[in-house]
Amino acid sequence: MKLVVEGVSKEYVGNNGEPVVALKGISLEVPEGEFVCILGPSGCGKTTLLRIIAGLERPTEGRVLVDGEEVDGPTPRLGMIFQDYSLFPWRRVIDNISFGLELAGVEKADRAATAREYLDLVGLGGFASAYPYELSGGMRQRVAVARALATNPAVVLMDEPFGALDAQTRNAMQREILEIWEKTRKTVLFVTHSVDEAVFLADRIVVLTARPGRIREVATFSEPRPRNRTSDGCAALRRYVLGLIDEGQGGA
């Protein structure tokens, strides 16, 4: 397995000083090259789980392994893509993409070549010298995707990366991320609030209960890509997953 989550729980102290259990006993195995979406009610701990997997937070219990090695902090093996792009406004697009390579000590010429390769992959080869403010929201998110891929991570983690985009751009980005995934075959964990998005993208959908977040069910979807959002298969899975989320509101 490329990614293994073993019995992960997370507890923290709330504003009133009382303990809050965000996640409880999460276990999940993800094989190499799979596209997995994580869904659940608001506040169920989806982002917390992703941050634990990324090494940005420590679990109270349990552990995360990538290629058999335990994750004990941020690592280049895990590429993280956030909703807000997190681009440096003072750096050109090519320099944003090569930032992780720069931190890793890669020579300037080599990191520029790699950055241009991934710029071409996301369809922005002509924007290497642009600054983030000169790009649309969808283009900025594509830069963020290229930056995450440039370090060649074992797993790509996406935290509602299209949540701030309008519906038309969001649908276009979903298609583009699938095209990129089909070319790279990276292992992807993708957090979303949108059942439609999960049904369109995922091989499997992990449905969490309300807080404390537990895995209620993992739904597998084998309908071939590219998927028709209005097909009977997509509609049936959408209804099923919505039912799971509704049933899980009580945290059962």
So what's the pLDDT on residue 232?
Answer: 94
So what's the pLDDT on residue 62?
Answer: 98
Percentage of the chain surpassing pLDDT 70?
98
So what's the pLDDT on residue 165?
Answer: 87
Domains in the chain (CATH in brackets) are 1-77+203-252 (3.40.50.300)
In the chain, % helix, strand, coil (3-state, to 5) comes to 40, 25, 35
pLDDT digits (tens, 9 = 90+) for 190-227: 999 999 999 999 999 999 999 999 999 999 998 899 89
So what's the pLDDT on residue 250?
Answer: 53
What pTM did the predictor assign? 0.92
Beta bridge partners of 3: 30, 66
Chain-centroid distance, C-alpha 142: 13
